[in-house]
Structure 1
Amino acid sequence: MALPDTNALGHEWAILQNNHERYENAGLLIKLTGVVLFVACLALSLDVIIAMLLMLVLWVQEAMVRTSQSRLGQRIVRIEQALASGTPVQAAPYQLHSEWLATRPGLGGLLAEYGRNMLRPTIAFPYAALMAITVLWFLFA
């Protein structure tokens, strides 16, 4: 058996790791946008339903971004395992999309994956809290 091409795997790892961090930054920007939107909704006294729908859109958007980030993370771990073991561990270089397409779930599976990511505490926290505050603000203001 041939050993994995560690130069190619190392190159792929570096690129994917950089993109993984970019997804992290994108997620934080979406969260900050949610906070700004929350303040704007309160300042403009927007209807609670409109404010909640706007925050829900951002919540779903972040779940989609985090799902893509998760896919990169899975590939990064596979590359790290291949590099650490020095054996060909089904981690041929530059196979991110081919691997994902081979295991791609249908529409229902994709929506379920987005939903699971929406419910992760680090993703749900600001949106659920801001939506609850929005409801309370409009009920008691």
Structure 2
Amino acid sequence: MNALHQEWLALQSQHERYEALALGVKLVAFAATVLVPDNTLALALLALLWLQEAVLKTFQGRLGDRLLVVEAGLKSGGEVAAMQLHSDWLASRPRGAGLVAQYLKNALRPTVALPYPLLMILVVVI
């Protein structure tokens, strides 16, 4: 097995792990809605968990970007350097406001955002 195959397997495994972690964050958010008696604290916790999931999805997206590069290299048989996840990311890493914007963009993705406003409304209504 060549280095690109090994890299793909490792990246794909971690990509799926981030998906499971994001689901775990959603489950904790639901538990917070039910178990935290103070509405202000529950809303703050939900906002924090929402942002945490956005950070996880941003990290997952970086892995996904690299997976696409590796897959293109595997498909074409071309010259793609293996094991360059962090070097490639560092070369294009956004700074300051760009990084915050990346996190917020992921927070607003429907698959991330959907449960949080609903849970927040539930906290306020109940």
Question: Shorter-chain TM-score: what band?
Answer: over 0.9
Measure the CA separation in 1 of the matches of 2:15 and 2:49: 19
| Uncovered stretches (5+) of structure 1, i.e. residues with no partner | 1-5
Amino acid at match of 2:2: N
Q: Where has structure 1 moved over 2 Å in runs of 4 or more?
A: none
Deviations 1:70-127 (A, max 9, x none): 0000100110011111122xx3100000000000011111100000000001001111
Q: If you compute each CA radius of gyration, which structure gives the higher value, 1 or 2? A: 1
* Cα distance between partner residues in 1 of 2:121 and 2:70: 41
Q: 1:49 offset after TM fit, Å? A: 2.1
Displacement of 1:32 in angstroms is 0.3
* Alignment correspondent of 2:112: 123
Identify the residue that residue 110 of structure 1 maps to in structure 2. 99
Percent identity, please.
46
Pick the aligned partner of 2:12 from 17, 24, 27.
17
Query: What are the ranges of 5 or more consecutive residues in structure 2 without an aligned counterpart?
Result: none
- How many residue pairs get matched? 126
Of 74, 82, 85, the residue aligned with 2:65 is 74
Residue 87 in 1 paired to residue 78 in 2? yes
TM (norm. structure 1) is 0.86
Q: CA deviation at 1:136?
A: 2.1
Are 2:117 and 1:132 equivalent residues in the alignment? no
TM-score, length basis structure 2: 0.96
Q: What is the Cα-based RMSD across aligned positions, in Å?
A: 1.1
